[in-house]
Amino acid sequence: MSKDILITGYEPFGGDTTNPSLELAQALNGCRYKDYTFQFAKIPVNRHECISTMEKAINCFDPEIVICTGLAYGRASISIERVAINVADFPWPDSAGYLALNETIDAEGPAAYFSTLPIRNIMQSLHAEGVPAYISNSAGTYCCNLLMYGTLNYIAKHHLNIKAGMMHVPYTPDMIVGKDPFMPSMSLDTMIKAVKTAAVTAIESPEDKAIICGFAQ
């Protein structure tokens, strides 16, 4: 019986006509690894719709692994997010024009959720594949943090056996043409490889080893 890996990506926003997070999710759709099948869901950049869209996707696919992806302009590497906080504080309005300011995502939820993906194992796997990546300790306070928090919150509240987390990707080269000439970018193929590698790592090495005084335990 096939098991599912859910990859999500955001719709284009902020004047961009493409979003690499959505493109990579669509590219992986239908791919297989052993008895796992990649599925994708398109997430709106919308304060009041992105979490409910994710909940519907989880109910539809019943995945074992969820990797949310989002665009982080100005970053040169794949960012593997460690934590999502219970705050929506938007630096700019969402696609519906809504500007969340210092809002609590869930009044009954905890202050934060940590990724349940093996983030250090994923980083090491990406480095082995020649993909620049690092562990980020802040997913921001915009829709990516909102989605990561909402996903982990839904999983926790419904006692689901799903590993989940967030990865941020840079611009693709075509997106920076005519913009800041020093803006970093990454090819879509590299991003696809990164997210697929992350999913495989979550399957094959699902638990990070504790690091004590520089030694893996």
Q: Which residues are catalytic?
A: 81, 144, 168
User: Residue 116 phi/psi, 5° resolution?
Assistant: -100, 5
- Among residues 122, 90, 123, 111, which one has the least CA distance to residue 14? 90
Which tokens in the block code for residue 215?
A: 């030694």
What whole-number distance in Å separates Cα of residue 44 and Cα of residue 118? 26
What whole-number distance in Å separates Cα of residue 146 and Cα of residue 165? 12
Beta bridge partner(s), residue 215: 212
